[in-house]
Each structure stands twice: as C-alpha cells, then as structure tokens.
Amino acid sequence: MKNFITALLTIFLVACVPTKEMAVYVNEPIVGPKEIALVGNRAPWVIDIEKRLRSEGISIKRFASLGEATEKISESRSETKATATTRVILVLDGFAPNTGMTRCFGGGYNFNYISAEIIDAQNNETIAVYANSGYSEGCQPLSGTIFGDISGMVLNAFK
C-alpha cells in the first residue's frame, strides 16, 4: 500500500512539471524604438502579457502591417520591397481553458501549451522562441512564470 501511494504521488508530481523550452538565436539587441506588433489569437490571457509589456515601456501595435518601398536601381530598373511598420513581431499561440471550473482562483491560467516567437521583420529572422505548459502566475500554490518569461524575452530583445 505504501508503494502504491508513493507511485501515485510521484505520477502526480511529474504531471505538474512544466515543459519550458527557450532558445535565443540572435544575441545582438535591437536598437530603435521599443515597439512590437502582436500577432495571434486574441485569447483572454494575451491581456496579461500586454499589461506586463506596456508597464515596461513597450509600445504594442495590434497588427504587423506591411507597406511597400520602391527603390530606383538604375534608369531602367527599380526594385520594390515589402517593409513592416514595426521591426519586431511577437507571435503568440496557446490554449488555456477559460471556464469557472478550469481557471485558477488567483486569476491565472493552466496552459495545455503556450508558445511565443519574436521575429525581426527587417532581417526576416527569428530572434527568440519560448514554449511551455502548466500554470501561469496567479495559480497558487503552483504558480509558474510563463507571462514573466515571455515579457522578459521581449525586453531582452531590445537595447
């Protein structure tokens, strides 16, 4: 009986372990305005990430708008390129049930998965990625650091 309880407790604890993965691909911080375009589903938890970023001085645009710039190469040739209105794009994707029975009492979320990717539109490259599952901040006693991790990753992308 004691071994059964120990095995059951071990399974419960392993099931609660977050699966955090983070990778930074570009070590040079972006010089320029602290401004991002936020792309992804407009889930309720996105507001928590937006609040954290705004409180740190990040300006948030709702869409990654594209424009065109035409450059004259020679008398007979010109080249048109797509340009982004913001240099940095934050792509968010995730799922956390949002019902009275699944939300945390402290206001947090229990994520089945969440991912964030920071893209430099000027160089067309991924700056950093983040993936996790489990509890966000506000889920006592099992609170995680999901929102803080994502906002910290965005802040570290700027100089």
Domain coordinates of the chain in residue numbers?
Answer: 24-69+86-156
- The amino acid at 88: V
pLDDT in tens, 51-81: 999 999 999 998 766 666 677 778 888 777 7
pLDDT in tens, 111-122: 999 999 999 998
9: confidence class by pLDDT, cuts 50, 70, 90: low
Give the CATH architecture of domain 24-69+86-156: 3-Layer(aba) Sandwich (3.40)
Q: What is the mean pLDDT of the chain?
A: 85
Residue 57, number of CB atoms within 10 A of its CB:
9
Spatial distance between the Cα atoms of 132 and 38, rounded to a whole number of angstroms? 19
Contacts by 55-62 with C-beta closer than 8 Å and gap 24+? 56/151, 56/155, 58/34, 58/154, 58/155, 58/158, 59/33, 59/34, 59/35, 60/35, 60/36, 61/35, 61/36, 61/37, 61/85, 61/86, 62/37, 62/38
Higher pLDDT among residues 105 and 39, named by residue: 39
Q: What is the pTM of this model?
A: 0.77
Q: What pLDDT is stored for residue 80 in this prediction?
A: 74
Spatial distance between the Cα atoms of 155 and 147, rounded to a whole number of angstroms? 12
Q: What are the strands of the beta sheet with 125-135, ordered from one edge? A: 21-24, 125-135, 110-120, 88-95, 35-40, 59-61
Higher pLDDT among residues 141 and 125, named by residue: 125
Q: Tell me which residue has tokens 């983040």.
A: 130
* DSSP codes, 19-31: --EEEE---SPBP
Q: What is the mean pLDDT of residues 92-107?
A: 86
